[in-house]
């Protein structure tokens, strides 16, 4: 596997978080694009530094959102934004190193968040002119 930072995804996520997820400390979330996966159906993954590692190293929680290039890059812009929202939704409000599971992170909830984000962006665009 090859990994590289994805600053363009970080920038999109910063915008999404400022509008939908103010509890996420975006400075402690890293966005990585990976290449060379053997995984069949995965588009992206959310990783966290577990509590014991945080305690042992004396660091706060960090999250890494990994986007598998072979699948993610083929998606259209709307679907990419939905995948980013999906992964951000895994980060709990406590921002403590845990995860929200797929009982909360559902297609229905992702779609609701996407529509809210799109409405906010459309309003901003309308106000700009």
pLDDT of residue 30: 96
pLDDT of residue 125: 82
Is the distance from CB of 117 to CB of 42 less than 8 angstroms? no
pLDDT tens-digit readout, 7-40: 999 999 999 999 999 999 999 999 999 999 888 8
- What domains lie within the chain, and their CATH numbers? 2-128 (3.30.2010)
User: Can you say whether the dihedral through the CA atoms of 53, 58, 62, 68 is positive or negative?
Assistant: negative
Give residue for tokens 């995965």: 42
| Higher pLDDT, residue 51 or 21 | 21
% residues pLDDT > 90 (the chain): 80
Give residue for tokens 């980060």: 91
The predicted model scores a pTM of 0.93
């Amino acid at each position: 596997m090859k990994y590289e930072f994805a600053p363009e995804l970080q920038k999109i996520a910063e915008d999404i978080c400022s509008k939908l997820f103010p509890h996420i400390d975006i400075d402690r979330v890293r966005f990585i694009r990976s290449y060379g996966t053997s995984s069949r159906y995965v588009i992206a993954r959310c990783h966290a530094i577990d509590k014991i590692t945080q305690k042992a190293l004396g660091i706060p929680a960090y999250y890494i959102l990994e986007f598998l290039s072979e699948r993610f890059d083929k998606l259209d812009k709307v679907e990419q934004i939905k995948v980013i929202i999906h992964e951000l939704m895994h980060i709990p409000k406590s921002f403590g190193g845990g995860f929200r599971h797929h009982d909360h992170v559902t297609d229905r909830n992702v779609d609701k968040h996407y529509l809210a984000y799109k409405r906010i962006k459309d309003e901003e665009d309308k106000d700009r002119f």
